[in-house]
Structure 1
Amino acid sequence: MTQQANRRSGPLRALGLVAATSLIAVGVAGTARAADAPLPVTITGEDRVDLSLRSDNPDPSEPQVMLRLKAPGEEFEGDGVIPPVFTGDYTIRIDATELAGVASVKLPCDADGLVAVCTGSELYAGEQYNRLGGIRLDVDDDSEAGDFGSITVTGEGEGLDFTPLTVDVLVGGPEFVNRQLSLPENLRAGGTYRAPVGLRNAGSMPSEGAVLRFHGSRGVSFPDSYGNCSYAEVTTGPLLRQGTDAICTFPDTIDAGTAYALAKPLKVRTADFALHDIFTYSFTAVSPSEAAGLRAAKDYRPGTGADLELRKVAGADPADYSPYAELDLPTTNTYDLELTGASADGAAGDTVTAEIGFRNNGPAWISALRSGGEPITFTVAVPEGAAVTKAPEECGESTIAEGEKGYRCWVSTPLLEDAELSFPFELRVDRVVEGAKAEVALPEWDNPFDSDHANDSAWIVLNGSDESTDGGTGRSDGGTSGGTASPGPGQEGDSGSGGSGGSSGSGTNGTNGTSGDISGDGTVGGLASTGAGGVALIGGAALLALGLGAGLFLFLRRGARQSGGAIA
């Protein structure tokens, strides 16, 4: 039985008679449809595995090939039982007999030596829910450089038309490692880094050609253009994914045990707003013809000018090469986060609006590339005698100080260098208190990249004099607290760009009146004012970090550890 079919037998048994009858009806319909025209099913998974004779071939507990079945239709999204697109018995056969004497093989399902048989009775649209299992490959005592074999995966079932999969396995083939990078201390935003890009073939066999792929995030560009390279720029969509990708092909033989370098350093230009942007590159033993398929997956444009060339490097130290080569650059820029408050007058029973402002005065953006877009937070206290009747969707009720309730607001990252966001709070005046003040503040932190901590706090003032509100702006005269980011994993956002940023109010900088979309896709998720603000989005542990005002500091330290620099 496939992993998926086995996993879904439990929910099916738990259904009531009516629900089970509905599922059976769907299955019968699917089978009838398949009888008229076989349902096309593609067996998917990695089609090539290169085994090293000098390493443990990544994690010994992890398979290199994950097998799935891809059926027509859109994958199911939502809650509840997933409706199948096909109901009926089928069999998947995994034949690895060609690998006898080549490598050791661990197969899924019902395995007998180097052959395994998987069975199933349901298929779902797409491939996410049609998992067969993994194949783990390792070298053994009989493995030698140049040994080669294939695994063939086929399927059969009435009403189904399977496209098979072949997995090619090579032992001791070409194995490329990349020249490590180091950032010059004097590189400033707007400057150009000359990257010493190179590779070493640490494998046991030569490679008939190589492919270089390099990437720069939004604040990185490549001023030179080469005839044997192709380039793709992404300037729309989530900021985390914007940047430039390039693919360069080298048709000459890459000898085993030999190091190579570009004939001249690769120029990597940083923008004026760049801060901890990412530059990364890697060489792979892929032929130029195979690289054409890589280009087809993206809208690449051909380069111009002379070809980029590789030359041999004599006496290279193997310790200077590693599987990964990347840098965070530059590390010397700054930004300035600023909060602005609001003032309003109202009699008892009136409802007034206090519009809190949040902006980045630059010059740098907050990329948050290493953290995956963790949000920045600030707190909003409530003036005496007033109550919040409506808070922005990005703000949740929370304990903001010992014994004090208020609101905590989230600003998603990355945050543009000129982001300007608005957080409107509706306040009901229950009791008039002359000059009632409540602070809006970024929690205290020691951040060398925020150039001005004097504007990290502001005031909401109700029924106060002009003097008490700093000219009506509600701005604080010297707050010293800073900002924090929660450790919510894998969140994306485009604060201040493309319709998302910090609050559902009057946003600018292209926000179309909305900002603070933590998910980065226009859905906020509705933080409820229940004292658990934001738990649904970032988890209880993350909220605790937010409450302590330590989240961004931790994120910055983690980014610094990964990049080898100071926190940002």
Structure 2
Amino acid sequence: MPMPPHNRRVSRAAFAALGAAGLIALAAAPAAFGDETAPGLVIGGIEPIDGVKPGSSFDLPVTVANKGTGAAEKVWVTYAVTRGLDFDEVPSNCLTQHIPPYDEMQERWTAVCAFDQAVEPGVVYTTETPLRVKVLDRALYDEVSLRVGEGDPVADDNGSPPVAGTAPAVKLVEKQPGGEGTAPYVAVPVTSVNTADYQVTGAALKGSVGKTVPMKVEFTNAGPAWVMAKYGERSSVSVVITPPAGTSVVKTASFCRAKGETYHCGMRQPALNEGGRETYTFQLKIDKRVARSKGSVALSTEARPFDPNKDNDKADITLDVTGGGSTGSTGSSTNGSTGSTGGSSSTGDDGTTTNGGTLAETGSSTLPITGAAAAALVTGAGTLLIVRRRRAQSLRGGQSSSVSGI
């Protein structure tokens, strides 16, 4: 079964965007063009799988049916599992491939099995021996998908070289009707009994008033399970960062946005893998000394039943202001940012985003405003002094009290 290299980057992304309905429409296309003897292959036989344990395994009793009017002379069945699962013994008429994540697609293993036999209309088939899937230690929320077609799906050139299975080859055999699918593609969730410990790490900051200091905090998935972010859905967690009072943010970490006096930060899929981590680096200016100033980094409040340990869901960000400087009252940070603030931004080499455009974004304190106000007061005082002097001179000279040009 040749599987020549072929770049499926565009087509797979398109399939993900189309969804099952799009796949059904594509599969039905030959019949729509008037081919009255076209086969209509559909696949089924699997239901959602729940409660499996790491170290165990389960079977995939696939069914293939032909709901068209013509026979399919040869068919290919593609099995795919996400990274918490793997195939056990694979028949020799199948080729397996490991495909890393790309273009919003999850990391996965595939097994493409060729069946060089006719699939007749109105007949339901299954494999002589079901393909067996093993549950890995990192399994939690995974997915199994199946696809059937008349054409060789070819290898994904983003993946590893395909490898033939070593177990005896299997054939399709007829079975009693029932359990057949309605489309050439189906995917079901696989839920394992496992946990993933999400945790955050705070920071201890130190510097004098007027200085800019880095603030680096982290999110870690300590495992043992990975957590799959489903296509088109939000992650199961975000990180909420509150800078210490008396500081202003001059650079914002990547994947973070201001929301009031806090920053809400997202993450990439690798951070949700077991042992994965995301680091958020800010640059803070110490505007003033504030007694007992303390910020925090915390996980968002979505329900996470897979993470029973809540003790490490929040950590402190402490600030030690050295040297002299004014002392303000205990309170929140002075970044003054909001999620809807305008202005441009750019990402620096340190993974932070430089705010720009408004005082609220830059986190500037009242120093520029105070300076402008002071200048206005000085100018006003000087003008008043000149007016008084001119008025006194005019009165002594017997002239009118009105002053032109003021």
**Structure 2-normalised TM-score?**
0.66
Residue 191 (structure 1) shift? 2.2
After superposition, what is the alpha-carbon deviation per residue over 1:185-233, rounded to whole angstroms, capped at 9, x for unaligned?
4312332121111212222222212211111122221121212111221
The whole-number CA distance in structure 1 between the counterparts of 2:31 and 2:40 is: 15
What aligned pairs does 1:265-414 form with structure 2 within 5 A after superposition? 265-284=130-149, 286=150, 290-291=151-152, 294-295=154-155, 299-314=161-176, 316-317=177-178, 320-323=180-183, 324-371=185-232, 374=235, 376-399=237-260, 405-414=261-270
Higher relative contact order (CA 8 A, sep 6+): 2
Residue 504 (structure 1) shift? 7.3
The whole-number CA distance in structure 1 between the counterparts of 2:69 and 2:97 is: 34
Contact 1:378 1:442 in 2 (8 A): yes
CA change 1:429–1:376 in 2 (3 A) is: same
CA change 1:270–1:373 in 2 (3 A) is: farther
Residue 373 (structure 1) shift? 7.2
Question: 2:290 is matched with which residue: 410, 424, 433?
Answer: 433
The whole-number CA distance in structure 2 between the counterparts of 1:321 and 1:527 is: 53
Unmatched runs of 5 consecutive residues or more in structure 1: 1-45, 47-57, 66-135, 140-167, 400-404, 465-502, 506-513, 515-523, 534-568
**Which residue identity does 2:296 align to in structure 1?**
E
Matched with 2:5 is none
The whole-number CA distance in structure 2 between the counterparts of 1:296 and 1:375 is: 29
The whole-number CA distance in structure 1 between the counterparts of 2:357 and 2:228 is: 31
CA change 1:305–1:320 in 2 (3 A) is: closer
Matched with 1:453 is 310
**Which residue identity does 1:191 align to in structure 2?**
S
CA change 1:528–1:307 in 2 (3 A) is: farther
SS of residue paired to 1:455: coil
Contact 2:242 2:297 in 1 (8 A): yes
Residue 443 (structure 1) shift? 2.4
**Which residue identity does 1:377 align to in structure 2?**
S
CA change 1:212–1:417 in 2 (3 A) is: same
CA change 1:301–1:443 in 2 (3 A) is: closer
What aligned pairs does 1:20-169 form with structure 2 within 5 A after superposition? none
After superposition, what is the alpha-carbon deviation per residue over 1:264-321, rounded to whole angstroms, capped at 9, x for unaligned?
221012221122222111222x2xxx52x7249674233333112211102x22x642
**Which residue identity does 1:220 align to in structure 2?**
L
Matched with 1:251 is 116
After superposition, what is the alpha-carbon deviation per residue over 1:457-481, rounded to whole angstroms, capped at 9, x for unaligned?
22211139xxxxxxxxxxxxxxxxx
Contact 2:256 2:264 in 1 (8 A): yes
The whole-number CA distance in structure 1 between the counterparts of 2:88 and 2:25 is: 40
Contact 1:373 1:413 in 2 (8 A): no
The whole-number CA distance in structure 1 between the counterparts of 2:301 and 2:234 is: 21
Matched with 1:416 is 273
CA change 1:238–1:362 in 2 (3 A) is: farther
Matched with 1:154 is none
SS of residue paired to 1:411: coil
The whole-number CA distance in structure 2 between the counterparts of 1:530 and 1:272 is: 49
**Which residue identity does 2:282 align to in structure 1?**
F
The whole-number CA distance in structure 1 between the counterparts of 2:165 and 2:263 is: 52
The whole-number CA distance in structure 1 between the counterparts of 2:135 and 2:172 is: 25
The whole-number CA distance in structure 2 between the counterparts of 1:174 and 1:137 is: 9
CA change 1:443–1:185 in 2 (3 A) is: closer
CA change 1:234–1:372 in 2 (3 A) is: farther
Contact 1:396 1:530 in 2 (8 A): no
Q: CA RMSD in A?
A: 3.4
The whole-number CA distance in structure 1 between the counterparts of 2:25 and 2:127 is: 34
**Which residue identity does 1:427 align to in structure 2?**
L
**Which residue identity does 1:446 align to in structure 2?**
A
Question: 1:193 is matched with which residue: 28, 51, 58?
Answer: 58
**Which residue identity does 2:125 align to in structure 1?**
Y
SS of residue paired to 1:336: strand
CA change 1:344–1:186 in 2 (3 A) is: closer
Matched with 2:79 is 214
**Which residue identity does 1:234 align to in structure 2?**
I
After superposition, what is the alpha-carbon deviation per residue over 1:52-75, rounded to whole angstroms, capped at 9, x for unaligned?
xxxxxx78xx9969xxxxxxxxxx
Contact 1:63 1:137 in 2 (8 A): no
Give 1 or 2 for the bigger CA radius of gyration.
Answer: 2
Count of equivalent residues: 309
**Structure 1-normalised TM-score?**
0.49
Contact 1:397 1:529 in 2 (8 A): no
SS of residue paired to 1:346: strand
Between the aligned residues of both structures, percent identity stands at 24
Contact 2:42 2:180 in 1 (8 A): no
**Which residue identity does 1:390 align to in structure 2?**
K
SS of residue paired to 2:154: helix
